[in-house]
A and B are shown apart, each in its own frame.
Chain A
Amino acid sequence: MGHPAIESLGVMTTQTPPADAPLLQMQGIDKSFPGVQALHDVALQVRVGEVHALVGENGAGKSTLMRILGGVHQRDRGEILWHGRPLEIRSPLEARAHGISIIHQELNQVPGLSVAENIFLGREPRRALVWVDWTQMRLRATRLLADLGLSIDPRRRLGTLSVAEQQLVEIAKALSSEAELVIMDEPTAALTIEETQRLFGFIRDLRTRGVAIIYITHRLEEVFSIADRVTVLRDGQYVSTTAVADMTLDELIRLMVGRRLTEKFPKETVAPGEAVLEVRGLTRAGVFEDVSFVVHHGEILGIAGLIGSGKTEVAHAVFGADPIDRGEIYLDGRRVAIPSPSAAIALGIGLVTEDRKRLGLILQMSVRANITLPVIRTLAPAVFIRRRREQALVAQAIRDLHMAVTSPEQLARNLSGGTQQKAVVAKWLQTHARVLLLAEPTRGIDVGAKVEMYRLMVDLARRGVGIVMISSEMPEILGMSDRILVMHDGRITAEFPRERATQEAILASASGRPPSAV
């Protein structure tokens, strides 16, 4: 199949490309969106069979660069060489035909279709050319998922899976195609340690088969455990490409943010006050059972647990988003009924949801409208919304959280993933809640921003806010919590004070094993 771009450059095609040509070379890549130059003169070079990490702060342009490779965006300028030859990638289908497979940061699957249909979307196994071979499709899907250690029924509707499971399906999909280059845009953001380890096993497998991998992550430790080389982007510009072996974590952070980060967990313990939120015997049949806990003013309570342990569901129930079957909730000692999220907000409870695209943001609204949505009533004392006050609030939030936005009017869907996450957090800072439930608050945000987020939490705690932090990130659970609850299978299985918590003990309780280390 002659590619027009190749044929017309006759000279190039008659020569075979040099044998040691890198698999992929991108040079001088520019890309602008209205109001932002997302990439400026960016270069990237990937060798056959290497794991190449791509890192940078939120909004640095990582996903944009990958979307150009994946045929989602077209570059404004620059050159892409594939096996040493110029390549035009005009659509996702073309990318796949060339052997480029991409796991997008923002899941883009069809929630209404089954898991198997999603995996084989656009390349369904056929019978007699027209009929989809359902049996074949289901069998192959089951095998793929089993390879990843998943026991998901491929007939289940994708929308019924958790974020992590959806992410794993997306990975299965990318692995199922015969790709020479697999791009993974923050594949582990929603995964637990075990799942991450399994994924790494796969990546190593792929590497030995000569497949190259571009790996984007904000968990920088991962760079050191899996990658061969790392390229750093900053503000849409190329900074460096280095062999991981010649690099330290501190060095990498300095390249990313342009300065040194002194501490990763700016934890300060605030002397806890009275109980602000108390939950007794909370039960939702089949989801969680007899959950009781207390959070005090100024305390950060960490809740750890594996996927499916029910930890996020508890937060949703306390917030009035899901119904409960039994149980009592007390706020500042007074028993309250929380039938709906608006009731929860009125009582001073906030919830930073886990899934920013599906639950956290209204993607086609502006950053401004998103941030003020929970408090918009208070901004309209009479009939009309006080524009000035709204703008002032939003400007403040953008400054406080260092959000990478071109203007407050930028649509939420055009923000980088990490900036979207900050927007969700910004929403709940407006409500001046006395209890903040944070579900995976730092998912997908960069190292610098993480530290800012932690500072913010400490700051809120100091002002007396009770914080419940639900997280799958062991380091932040250990680094930021005053007290840690562990959930397994819908029940609280252990509680640790900060001083006595260890990763091993938490993991043991989270997987339902008897806590030997305690």
Chain B
Amino acid sequence: MRFDRAVVHAALGHLSLTPIRNVLRRFGIAIAFVLLMAILAVLSPPFATASNLFNIARQVSINAILAAGMTFVILTAGIDLSVGSVLAYSGAIMAGVLVSSLPLLVGIGAGLALGALLGLLNGVIITRGKVQPFIATLAMLTMARGATLVYTDGRPITGLPDAFVWLGEGDLGWIPVPVVIMGVVFLAGHLILTQTVLGRYVYAIGGNEEAARLSGVNVTVYKTLVYGISGLLAAVSAIILTARLNSAQPTAGSGYELDAIAAVVLGGTTLAGGEGSIGGTLLGAFIIGVINNGLNLLNVSAFYQQVVKGAVILLAVLLDRRLR
């Protein structure tokens, strides 16, 4: 005997899967994260130790901070491919200023200012020059990398002061300094996106740029600002990376933009803009970090790690699409 779809439907009508779906939809990525942690804890005992977990957080901080800026950009339906190069350039300038024995704050300030400036430049080219974000930031990716190579002459800059290195390697109480910085960035990002006019405008622009403009949003200004934020946060990442490596490397950060984009997308922000959250991005960054760390602990070769990482990202995004 064959079951009729309509009959089955009628019989099971009230046993709807909707509630489960809703939970999965809201917390899917968090559940995936917890599952991943549990699996790794079973497979590899050293994974779940406090020192390893802090180590992961320290490693994650760089990508997470880049991804925080990327979240702003993607929420406006844009993209910023230049973050890796901007990171390298600001890191080099910081190191350059510091090795000429100027004060710590001057070095850091110079790097942050450069990052923000390059980001704003991206923004101006996109809004005033009406260039696609993909193209504008791709050009910036190349130019900033070139400028870094010119500035460093292709060699690492070493001999940084201890106070600076502490920003990457030190701890504040129990907590690694980069993790504190990451926490501050995400808290601020979350407050901006949910509680301020800027945040509201970011979602509005990404959701429907023309409707936003007709509601009085100065789209040009706010979009430019958003790329400025992304550049600034790339420079914040540069502090941590340069301090951890105890040197500014001319090739630092290449390819980082892709991990940052992956973290944003894993975190549930749509590339079409207007929908997503920075909290999701943090989870996304941790998922990528945990996968990296776990595969290392499990002695998976670096080549396979890439394959696995890509597959996990794809899987997570596919699952997310199914649930929506």
Contact = CB atoms under 8 A, between A and B. Distances in A.
Interface of A: 4-5, 8-9, 34, 76-77, 79, 86, 88, 319, 321, 340-342, 344-346, 351, 353, 358-365, 369, 373-374, 376-377, 380, 383-385, 387, 427
Contacts of B18: 34
Given A86-B6, A88-B5, A341-B215, A359 B210 contact: yes
Interface stretch (B166-174, B200-208, B252-260): B200-208
B304 interface: no
Interface in B235-273: none
B275 interface: yes
B197 interface: yes
A153 to B, nearest CB: 24
A343 to B, nearest CB: 9
B210 A358 contact: yes
Given A321-B214, A362-B274, A377 B197 contact: yes
Given A77-B10, A377-B197, A359 B203 contact: no
A380 B201 CA distance: 13
Contacts of B68: none
B214 A9 contact: no
B178 to A, nearest CB: 26
B7 to A, nearest CB: 8
Contact of A5 (B5, B208, B218): B5
B22 A340 contact: no
A374 B218 contact: no
A90 to B, nearest CB: 9
A5 B4 contact: yes
The 4 closest A-B pairs by CB, nearest first: A362-B207, A8-B4, A345-B216, A342-B216
Contact of A8 (B2, B195, B210): B2
A380 B198 CA distance: 10
Contacts of B10: 77
A4 B210 contact: no
A404 to B, nearest CB: 21
A8 B1 CA distance: 9
A363 B214 contact: no
B200 A385 contact: yes
Given A362-B211, A376-B201, 17 more contacts: A4-B5, A5-B6, A8-B2, A8-B7, A9-B4, A319-B214, A341-B214, A341-B215, A346-B216, A351-B214, A353-B211, A358-B210, A361-B211, A362-B212, A369-B204, A374-B215, A383-B196
Interface in B118-132: none
Contacts of A363: 207-208
B56 to A, nearest CB: 33
A373 B274 contact: no
A353 B4 CA distance: 49
A364 B207 contact: yes
Contacts of B215: 341, 373-374, 427
Contacts of A373: 200, 204, 212, 215-217
Contact of A364 (B2, B197, B274): B274
8 contacts: A79-B6, A341-B213, A342-B218, A344-B216, A361-B208, A362-B203, A362-B207, A365-B207
Given A77-B10, A342-B218, A384 B196 contact: yes
A480 to B, nearest CB: 24
B303 interface: no
A376 B208 contact: no
A467 to B, nearest CB: 18
Given A341-B216, A345-B216, A360 B197 contact: no
Contacts of B3: 8
A30 B211 CA distance: 34
B198 to A, nearest CB: 9
* B interface: dominant SS: helix
Contact of B22 (A34, A79, A342, A380): A34
Nearest to A373: B215
A319 B213 CA distance: 11
Interface in B1-27: 2-7, 10, 13, 16, 18, 22
Given A342-B217, A358-B211, A359-B214, A380 B4 contact: no
B13 A77 contact: yes
A83 B139 CA distance: 62
A380 B207 contact: no
B274 A385 contact: no
Contacts of A364: 203, 207, 274-275
A107 B2 CA distance: 40
Contacts of B196: 380, 383-385
Nearest to A340: B218
Interface in B180-203: 191, 195-197, 200-201, 203
Contacts of A4: 2, 4-5
Contacts of B216: 341-342, 344-346, 373-374
Contacts of B22: 34
B195 A385 contact: yes
B217 to A, nearest CB: 7
A353 B200 CA distance: 21
Most buried by B among A77, A344, A376, A387: A376
Nearest to A343: B216
- Residue of B208, B211, B215 contacting most chain A CB atoms (<10 Å): B215
A4 B18 CA distance: 26
Contacts of B7: 8
A412 to B, nearest CB: 9
Query: Which of B200, B201, B275 gathers most chain A CB within 10 Å?
Result: B200
A409 to B, nearest CB: 13
Contacts of A342: 216-218
A236 to B, nearest CB: 17
Nearest to A413: B207
Contacts of B195: 383-385, 387
Contacts of B218: 340, 342
Nearest to B207: A362
A365 B4 contact: no
A9 B8 CA distance: 13
A88 B274 CA distance: 35
A377 to B, nearest CB: 6
Nearest to B7: A8
Contacts of A362: 203-204, 207-208, 211-212, 274
A351 B13 CA distance: 46
A383 B204 CA distance: 18
